[in-house]
Amino acid sequence: ETAAVVRFWATRTQVKMLSRWGMEVVSRGRPICPQCGQPEEPEGHFCPKKNGHFH
């Protein structure tokens, strides 16, 4: 079995802009559940600290 290989070519400016965009997206994050500390999804969250109840 051979490993998959991907190669990208980009200028330093392109890579710099990609890294800035990535940092912006990551900094937005998702809300954190105050009960269990897990990220919450937009459609809700099953919290183990609330015995799995949806909130």
pLDDT one-digit tens code per residue, 13-27: 999 999 999 999 989
Comparing 2-6, 24-28, 41-45, 49-53, the range with the smallest average pLDDT is 49-53
Report the predicted TM-score, pTM, of the whole model to 2 decimal places: 0.49
Q: What pLDDT band is residue 39 in, cutting at 50, 70 and 90?
A: confident
Picking from 55, 15, 14, the residue whose alpha carbon sits closest to that of residue 35 is 55
- Report, as an integer, the average pLDDT of 18-45: 89
Q: What pLDDT band is residue 54 in, cutting at 50, 70 and 90?
A: low
SS3 34: coil
User: Distance between CA atoms of 48 and 20, rounded to whole angstroms?
Assistant: 35
Domain ranges of the chain: 30-55
Query: What does the pLDDT read at residue 42?
Result: 82
* Other residues' Cβ atoms within 10 Å of the Cβ of residue 17: 12
User: Distance between CA atoms of 15 and 5, rounded to whole angstroms?
Assistant: 19
